[in-house]
């Protein structure tokens, strides 16, 4: 629940900053480069997005991922927004550590492709 709430807070702040573009700065560009995150616990405030990608884009891509790979999306939410390790994520979801690792790798690849292409056609 905390991971979901953190996601909502960051996306809401990014949306507010985007609407107040004059003087809003680039705060909405806070997220993670999933490929570089590897298996480390990620703090969204510390890892910038690639240029041109905003938290709102990440949220939309994560929502699309949930439509095709719900468990993989949940793994991203828990690891990225909740700050859980692979082992902690496995415990929360009732999955093996290796299954969580597979979901994490799938999600990173899927989201990386989505964010590079700008989303679905």
Over residues 92-110, the pLDDT tens digits come to: 999 999 999 999 999 999 9
The domain of 9 spans: 2-117
End-to-end CA distance of the chain: 32
Average pLDDT over residues 71-94: 91
Cut 0.75: pTM above it = no
**Residue predicted with more confidence, 56 or 3:** 56
C-alpha R_g of the chain = 14
pLDDT of 6 reads 67
Instruction: Count other Cβ atoms within 10 Å, centred on residue 45.
Output: 10
> Total domain count for the chain?
1
Examine the pLDDT at 75 and tell me if it is beyond 50. yes
**pLDDT reported for residue 117:** 74
């Amino acid at each position: 629940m905390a991971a979901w709430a953190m996601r909502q807070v960051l996306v809401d702040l990014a949306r507010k900053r985007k609407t107040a573009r004059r003087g809003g700065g680039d705060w909405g560009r806070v997220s993670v480069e999933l490929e570089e995150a590897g298996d480390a616990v990620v703090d969204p405030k510390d890892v910038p997005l690639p240029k041109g990608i905003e938290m709102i884009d990440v949220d939309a891509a994560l929502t699309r991922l949930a439509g095709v790979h719900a468990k993989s999306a949940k793994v991203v939410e828990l690891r990225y927004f909740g700050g859980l390790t692979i082992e902690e994520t496995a415990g929360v979801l009732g999955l093996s550590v290796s299954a969580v690792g597979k979901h994490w790798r799938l999600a990173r690849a899927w989201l990386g492709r989505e964010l590079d292409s700008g989303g679905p056609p």
